[in-house]
Structure formats: C-alpha cells, structure tokens
Amino acid sequence: MSLLIVGLSHKTAPIDIREKLYFPETRLPDALENLISQSAISESLIISTCNRTEVLAHSPDINLGIHLVTDFLSDFHGQPKEVIQNFLYDFSHTDAVRHVFRVASSLDSMVLGEPQILGQVKNAFTLANRLGAVGENLSPLMNKAFHVAKRIRSETGISNSAVSISYAAVELSKKIFDTLNGRTVLLLGAGKMSELSAKHLTSQGVSKLLIWNRTYQRAVDLAKTLQGEAIPPEELFRHVERADILICSTGAPGVVLRKTDGQRIIKLRKNRPVFIIDIAMPRDVDPEINKIDNIFLYDIDDLRHVVDANLKHRLKEAQFAEGIINEEVQSYVNQVHSLDITPTIVALKKHWDLIRQEELEKTKKQLGELSTEQEVALENMTQSIIKKFLHGPISEIKSVHQTSSGSKHIEMIKKMLGLKE
C-alpha cells in the first residue's frame, strides 16, 4: 500500500510546538513541490490547522519516506529535528488509512464530532490535487475518507448535540420556545461568547438581533458584522422588552440585571416568556430573577451541564463510528490489495495460455487435418486443463496477499510457475 503519515496534533504537542510546524496557506504550494521533488515521495498532501499538522505521502520505501518527511518538516520550518522529534508520530500502510478516516470523521479532533475538520481536509486535498501532488494512490484514499466521514455523520449522532457553550444556548432556547423563527435576540454586552451564541441562534431562524454595549461604538461595529441593530447605552430599557432571548456577557464587575429589572421586563412583555443566558464571569444577572414566572435563566454552569451530557452522548456515538471505521478500513485495504495482485494473476494466466497455445499447435500438426468440431474440442479441453491447473495457485495468491508474509509467498508461487519479472 506504501502509505505513510508523519505529523503532530493537540494530543502530542503543546501549542508553542504546533505553531512552529504550522503551514500558512501561502506557503503550502512551495511545501508540496518540495515534498514531491524527493525521490522516495511520489504523492503528498499537507493538512495544517491550529490543532494538527500532518503530511500524508505515498512512498515505495516507507522507512526512507518517514525519514525524508521528518527532515522536510525540520528543514522547511527551520526547527532542529531534536526539538520536534519527540512530538511527532507516524503511521504506515493500514494504520495510515485508519488515521486518515478518523481525522476526516472528526474522531481524532479536540472537540469530538466537530464539523470543521472535514472542510479543512477537503481544502488540503483540493490544493494538492490542483498542484498535481496527488494521483492514483492518494486520490482514491481521500475520496474514500470523505465517503466514510459522510457515512458516520448520517449513521451516528456524533455531531447532533451541542458541545460548545455558545451552541448549548441554542439547544436550551429550543426547549423554551417551540420555534426560533421570528424571535428577537438581545446581546447584553458584545463579548466573543455572546457573539458566537448570537451567530448560532440567527442560523436557527432568529429574525432580529439587538446589540447593547457600554461602549456604543463596539455595539455599532458588531451590529454591522451581524446585521443587527445597535442600542445606545442609555436606552436599554426602551428596547429590552422586545427581546425573547437575552445573552448577557458584559464584563461588568457586578450585577447588571436585578430581580426588579426582571419584574419590569415581564410586565413590559405582558407575561410573554423570556430566556436569559448569562455567560458572564462574574455573573451579569441576579439568580433571584429566575424565581419570576416566565423568566428562564441559565448561567455558564447550567450550559456546561448540557455540554457534559452531550459529550457523553458523543462518546457513546463514537463507539458506533469506530465500528464503521473498522469496516471501511478493511474494505479499502481489500480493494487496494486486490488491485495490487491483479497484474500478477493476469500475467500468470497470459503466461500459461501462451504455453497452452504453443503445445496445442504442436499437437495439431502431429494429428494432421482436424474437423471444426475436433479443433473446438481440443481448444476447450486445453483451456479447461489450464483453468484447473491455475485454480489452486490463484486461490492461494488471493488468500495470502493480505498477510505479513504475503509478498514473499506470492513471489515463490510465481517462480514455481515459471513467471519471471
């Protein structure tokens, strides 16, 4: 199979080491050209993200290929080999196939089941393909990896539940409201977490986004980014009753919304329910506000409980996904090995058919003139003999080609049957 991977990830290297081996997009073409210029590297692609850098390559000499790729990573980034060596891992043959499938399916990601890695792997393949760095060996492997990733997402629930604080807010919102279509969200503070939560909520159908921040210009800038409406600091309570969902992350040193504010909000909303997500530290919302009818308050700990529960769910689904990986790896390996031995089987059949034809012609000359029926009978008989003669050796070749000693065994069969390279 002649596949190899050399790389590091969040599992083996801290961020300061991962940064040293990161490939900016602008340098990837030069890197790939450098790789495939190596005599023992026929094809290659590079996956480089904040959490991993991996070189996938095809090489007729695995040990030499791993050595060359390791030297390449060291030289290209100007990092001494002794600095990076202990953080690197390598896979070859079937283990490399398994690793590619697991990475594309997000089973090897920091956040199990996250969708971004598949897009990153596809981009890496697209670039390598455009530059002519992949061909008949890596292209089928990557297309199979994309198929496996799609199958895992459709047949398991590994990506169905929220495992980020920001997306957990969406799940909780859906439990309060039958639908998020037409709902209004108010960002109380314009921090990164509240921005992420707002993006998730708007992707689920929320139609209006209000943004309030103590620094008005920050609210204006974020409103442009998210296509929302900025609220001046002094006008909070002129607009707060419009919001079905409040996301609070102000960074204020104390409480921003008190129980009396909650009572006022519910009165202004005429008892329509409001969902408050407090992801600030320290908290923006007085916990007492949760005692008011039709106000549903969740803080960051509540969201973490959701995330933890969903992570357990994903881990359970990952077990099913690993079963799919095992099945698909075996299927791919069998397919590749079948392609590997096809030329040998074809050559054996051709070699012995030539011998058959030569001997048949000698026999015909000795027998003299034959009828059409007799010629057909001789042809069928000799073909049948060769077919039966080769049945055992070909079955043996198919049986042993996947074993560790398969190559040596096949070579012995070829020599015994007179088939030369």
| Spans of all domains in the chain | 3-155, 165-305, 333-416
- Is the separation of the CB atoms in 13 and 104 below 8 Å? no
Least Cα distance to 168 among 341, 35, 301, 64 occurs for: 301
Mean pLDDT of the chain: 89
Q: 165-305 belongs to which CATH class?
A: alpha beta
pLDDT band at 318 (very low <50, low <70, confident <90, very high): very high
Q: Strand, coil or helix: what is 405?
A: coil
Neighbour count for residue 316 (Cβ, 10 Å): 12
Highest mean pLDDT among 126-135, 187-196, 300-309: 126-135
- Is the separation of the CB atoms in 290 and 230 below 8 Å? no
b/e per residue, 173-209, with b = 16+ CB within 10 A?
Answer: beebbeebeebbbbbbbbbebbbbbbbbbbebebeeb
As a whole number, mean pLDDT of residues 118-129 equals 96
pLDDT band at 200 (very low <50, low <70, confident <90, very high): confident
Q: Strand, coil or helix: what is 49?
A: coil
Sign of CA dihedral 177, 179, 183, 187: positive
Homologous superfamily (CATH) of 3-155 is Glutamyl-tRNA reductase, N-terminal domain (3.30.460.30)
What are the tens digits of pLDDT across the range 360-383? 999 998 988 889 999 999 999 999
pLDDT, residue 162, reads 65
pLDDT, residue 393, reads 85
Is 50 among the catalytic positions? yes
What is the rounded distance in angstroms from the CA atom of residue 100 to the CA atom of residue 56?
9
pLDDT, residue 421, reads 52
- Indicate the angle between helix axes 138-155 and 300-367, nearest 10 degrees: 130
Whole-structure pTM value: 0.64
For residue 67, CA distances in Å to 37, 73, 74, 348 come to 15, 10, 11, 36
Percentage above 70 pLDDT, the chain = 96
pLDDT of residue 148 exceeding 80, the answer is yes
Task: Order across the sheet with 208-212: list the strands.
Answer: 229-231, 208-212, 184-188, 245-248, 274-278, 295-299
Annotated catalytic residue, options 15, 50, 83, 110 = 50
Q: Strand, coil or helix: what is 46?
A: strand
Percentage above 90 pLDDT, the chain = 59
DSSP for residue 339: H
What is the rounded distance in angstroms from the CA atom of residue 348 to the CA atom of residue 414?
8
